[in-house]
Chain A
Amino acid sequence: MRYDAPNTPESLVHFKNKYDNFIGGEYRAPAQGEYFDNVSPVTGTVFCQVARSTKEDVDAAVAAANKAKEAWGKTSTTERSNILNKMANRMEENLEMLAVAETWENGKAVRETLNADIPLAIDHLRYFAGVIRAQEGTIGQIDDDTVAYHFHEPLGVVGQIIPWNFPILMGIWKIAPALAAGNCIVLKPAEQTPASIYKVLELVEDLLPPGVLNVVSGFGVEAGKPLAQHEGIDKVAFTGETTTGRLIMQYASENIIPVTLELGGKSPNIFFEDVMAEDDSYLDKAIEGFVMFALNQGEVCTCPSRALIQESIYDKFIERAIERVKAINVGHPLDTDTMMGAQASKEQLDKILSYLDIGKQEGAEVLVGGDAAQVDDEDRSQGYYVQPTIFKGNNKMRVFQEEIFGPVLSVTTFKTKEEAMEIANDTLYGLGAGVWSRDINTAYRFGRALQAGRVWTNCFHDYPAHAAFGGYKKSGIGRENHKMMLDHYQQTKNLLVSYSEQPKGFF
């Protein structure tokens, strides 16, 4: 079936003409009165306008958050947990609406928003609703008279800058632990996808006290930068690329505040020869794991964009894999049969095409795809579509080293485990990796030695809450998706208490 396009009479989704900032519990027009057009990558046409905020708006949001932080920080964990659960319930009751909204804004296939993005966001809220209630401080008995008590306290106000590849899920990944830990938030959605988070906000805004969650939209340089530089925030969380990551650390150093950064990767997906020992459902799963590079049109920080295949099975394996890639249905994102939708923006499409060019120049062999996708229906002729593409080459080529953020896979072969390890770790990044083997010792030892924060072992692209997610090397700092993320949003208060009534005798 195909969902009706938003803003048509039968659609589940009706975007407003204009979205204002959400500050101190109310919608406020941007101080400069300017808005920018929000374009759907499905059709390449404008579907709403969003506040184009400036420093004045960021100042107002940070002030509102600071005003709210004391009371919010003192709410009981039960109260905060209950609110997160209610937010999850509201989202669950409106799952289809949110899925269609996000698909329209981002371009991804609706089967992914229905079955992954939105359900994961809902579960994430419930996870942090759970773990915050189970979190305890610690007591250390130093000696018979002296006790060290450790309490968790919120940081205060946190700035969060959200990427465009999963506008709702990446928002919730950051919102849930920050709220659970008792912080107030100033959130800036990506300017490519600012409206989806407002659809979530409309569902949950009455659940949160004014000023606890503030949303300021706009361009990075005009709204994101003043937020990252703001003296009134106590932490910045960012998902994006390395240069901006460094700049955010630089700004944070001016205020001596912590940052968490998720900066992407070039994840290797490694297939050992024993995957083909049988022709069974495990092999089928491994082939599917190979094709996971096309999930979300490849716009995932952990896209398995390098496949390393043991030479002895290469010919047979790649034949089946190509067959499966050819079966990917690139179609209308709102059609539930569509497997791959549109790239999120025009500049993203241009960037991907520039990499298809450099790959060919470097002498990589195109095994399948290699170009923009032709779209036969007129509505989508101005949308941003790319053919799923496989290059064969070597790890020194730039298509093996840079995050293309598109449905582009670079394949190479290896002879031995040592060679596989050398290729896999020969990258600036270390976010994700995949290991496929029927031999548990190979899988375990290899996974432990890989320089990557998440090693999917006989699976790929699963993102359950309670499995820590974050990078080694240039892929960033911090771990999301796990209760340990609470530490990134909390201070530790130590009370060191003496129960002795005797002076020390020093003075």
Chain B
Amino acid sequence: MAVERVTATDAALELINKLTKRHGPLMFHQSGGCCDGSAPMCYPEGDFKTGNSDMYMGDIGGAPFYMSKDQFEYWKHTQLIIDVVDGRGGMFSLEGPEGKRFLTRSRVFSEEERTELEQNSPV
């Protein structure tokens, strides 16, 4: 099985499913910086305009996941594992009113995984 740059926990998939039913197709963009930074943001698909500066990382629960290319350069040695915790905030991210927050956990890729990503990854 191909190495994935981004995955989601069962709890995250469940919440994505719930939000998709309510809001239609979704997308994610990994944030950086202050306050709610370093958190994944979830929007109705197309609400956030991605551009040349962004990188497509894969899908979670059917929703495309993006991050800025320059940020990716610092993150690329790790797999992002999107999870859910209790909480609020997340600015315009759709899950705020549910009393939940998506949270990015991470795992450092093994040497083998890194080699495979360098050879095969579309990103």
Across-interface contacts of A102 in B (CB, < 8 A):
none
A350 to chain B, nearest CB (A): 4
> A404 in the interface, Cβ–Cβ < 8 Å?
yes
Task: Tell me, yes or no, whether B11 is within 8 Å of chain A by CB.
Answer: no
Most buried by B among A164, A192, A240: A240
- Chain B interfacial residues counted at CB < 8 A: 41
Q: Are B35 and A264 in contact (CB under 8 A)?
A: yes
Chain B CB within 10 Å, residue with most, of A163, A246, A265: A246
The closest CB in chain A to the CB of B88 belongs to A191
Once bound together, how far apart are the Cα atoms of A263 and B33, in whole Å? 6
19 A-B residue pairs with Cβ-Cβ distance under 8 Å, sorted by A, are A36-B88, A191-B89, A221-B97, A222-B97, A241-B34, A242-B68, A250-B49, A264-B37, A346-B87, A350-B101, A351-B103, A354-B103, A354-B104, A354-B105, A354-B106, A361-B107, A361-B108, A398-B78, A405-B34
With A346-B85, A347-B85, A398-B75 given, can you name 9 additional A-B contacts, CB distance below 8 Å? A163-B35, A164-B35, A220-B96, A221-B91, A243-B41, A265-B34, A347-B90, A401-B75, A404-B38
* Distance from B122 Cβ to chain A, minimum over Cβ atoms (Å): 23
Q: Please pick, from A220, A225, A474, the residue contacting B89 in the complex, using a CB distance under 8 A.
A: A220
- A358 to B68, alpha carbons, bound, how many Å? 20
Interface members, chain A 380-423 (any B CB < 8 Å): 396, 398, 401-405
Q: Which of the 9-residue segments B2-10, B24-32, B56-64 touches chain A?
A: B24-32
Q: Residues of B contacting A247 with CB < 8 Å? A: 43, 47-48, 92
Write out, one digit per residue, whether chain A residues 245-284 have a CB within 8 A of any chain B CB (1) or not (0).
1110010000000000011110000000000000000000
Contact present for A264 and B106 (CB under 8 Å): no
Q: With a CB–CB cut-off of 8 A, which chain B residues contact A301? A: 33-35
Known contacts A221-B96, A222-B97, A244-B91; is-contact A350 B34 (Cβ 8 Å)? no
Q: Which residue of B lies closest to A358 (CB)?
A: B106
CA distance A423 to B96 in the complex (A): 36
Q: How far is the CA of A355 from the CA of B39 in the complex (A)?
A: 12
Closest chain B residue to A428 by CB distance?
B70
| Distance of B110 from chain A, by nearest CB (Å) | 11
10 pairs of A and B residues whose beta carbons are closest in the complex: A264-B34, A347-B87, A264-B33, A241-B37, A243-B31, A220-B91, A244-B91, A241-B33, A401-B74, A347-B101
A192 and B88 CA atoms in complex are apart in Å by 7
- By a CB distance below 8 angstroms, the chain A residues around B115 are none
Contact present for B105 and A347 (CB under 8 Å): no
Indicate if the CB atoms of B35 and A241 lie closer than 8 Å: yes
For A38, the closest partner residue in chain B by CB is B88
Interface of A is mostly: mixed
B86's closest neighbor in chain A, by CB?
A346
Asked if residues A347 and B35 are in contact (CB atoms below 8 Å), the reply is no
B91 touches A361 (CB 8 A): no
Number of interface residues of A (CB under 8 A): 53
Interface contact B33-A240, CB-CB below 8 Å? yes
Binary interface encoding of chain B residues 75-87 relative to chain A, with 1 for a CB under 8 A from any of its CBs, else 0: 1001000000111
Q: How far is it, in angstroms, between the C-alpha of A245 and the C-alpha of B93 when the chains are bound? A: 13
A242 CA to B31 CA, complexed, in Å:
6
A245 contacts B33, C-beta separation under 8 Å: yes
Inter-chain CA distance A354–B103, complex, in Å, is 9
A244-B91, A345-B89, A428-B71 are contacts. A403–B33 as well, Cβ < 8 Å? yes
Contact, CB under 8 Å: A402 / B32: yes
Contacts of A396 in B (CB 8 A): 74
Chain B residues within 8 Å of A192, by CB? 88-89
Question: B99 to nearest A CB, angstroms?
Answer: 9
Q: Check if A475 is an interface residue, CB within 8 A of chain B.
A: yes
Query: Hey, which chain A residues are within 8 Å of B37, CB to CB?
Result: 240-242, 263-264, 402-403, 405
* Alpha-carbon separation in the docked complex, A221 to B92 (Å): 4
The CA-CA distance from A490 to B35 in the complex, in Å, is 28
Q: Across the interface, do B32 and A244 meet the contact criterion of CB distance under 8 Å?
A: no
In the complex, the answer to whether A403 meets B38 with C-beta atoms within 8 Å is yes
What 0/1 readout, one digit per residue, does chain A (343-381) give for beta carbons within 8 Å of chain B?
001111011001101100110000000000000000000
Kindly state whether residue B16 has any CB partner on chain A within 8 Å.
no
> Do A224 and B91 have beta carbons less than 8 Å apart?
yes
Q: Are B48 and A246 in contact (CB under 8 A)?
A: yes
A338 contacts B by Cβ under 8 Å: no
Is A297's CB within 8 Å of the partner chain B?
no
CB distance from A238 to the nearest CB of B (A): 9
Contact (Cβ within 8 A) A347 B33: no
Q: Which of B32, B48, B49, B92 has the most CB of A within 10 A?
A: B92
B103 touches A243 (CB 8 A): no
In the bound complex, residues from chain A placing their C-beta under 8 Å from that of B31 are 241-244
CA distance A165 to B35 in the complex (A): 7
* B94: interface (CB < 8 Å): yes
A15 within 8 A of B: no
Q: How far is the CA of A239 from the CA of B35 in the complex (A)?
A: 8
Query: Does A472 belong to the interface (CB within 8 Å)?
Result: no
| B36 adjacent to chain A (CB < 8 Å) | yes
Looking at the assembled complex, report how far the CB atom of B20 sits from the nearest CB atom of chain A, in whole angstroms: 15
Q: Cβ of A358 and Cβ of B78 under 8 Å apart?
A: yes
Chain B residues with CB below 8 A from A225, complex form: 92
Question: Which chain B residue shows the least CB distance to A302?
Answer: B34
